Amino acid sequence: MNIDTIGRCWHCGRELAKADFGRETLCLGCGKPTRVCRNCRHYAPGRPNACREPMTEPVLDKERANFCELFDPGDLYAGGSGRESAADLLQRARDLFK
């Protein structure tokens, strides 16, 4: 089956089409909600409200479906939980000073 992929699931990395980003739609690969902050191209940990858009209403749980009007699917899948191990982060820091 050929679908027009516009993003990936933030949790499992499954390719998602436009229809897969509904308010109550769950990923067919892992069962997690797809219309969440962690699946939006504006998601930016470390920024206020973890969002690049300054005028968004605060969303406390970035992994739960929400009604944000600025939601725009992004391809932010980083593998597994989306978090790097401490050893990986330490190695990247050391590589900066080579």
Query: Whole-model pTM?
Result: 0.70
Output DSSP code: residue 8: E
Over 80: is that where the pLDDT of 88 sits? no
The dihedral built from the CA positions of residue 40, 47, 13 and 11, taken in this order, carries a sign that is negative
3-state class (DSSP) for residue 16? strand
Task: Give the model's pLDDT for residue 36.
Answer: 94
Task: Give the model's pLDDT for residue 64.
Answer: 94
Of residues 14, 5, 69, 79, the one with CA closest to residue 37: 69
Report yes or no: 36 and 63 within 8 Å, Cβ to Cβ: yes
- Count how many Cα atoms sit within 13 Å of the Cα of residue 8 in the half-sphere of its side chain: 12
How confident is the model over 6-60, as pLDDT tens digits? Answer: 888 988 989 999 899 988 999 999 999 999 999 999 998 888 889 999 888 889 9
Over 50: is that where the pLDDT of 91 sits? yes
The domain segmentation of the chain, as residue ranges, is 1-98
Q: Which two tokens stand for residue 8?
A: 């990936």
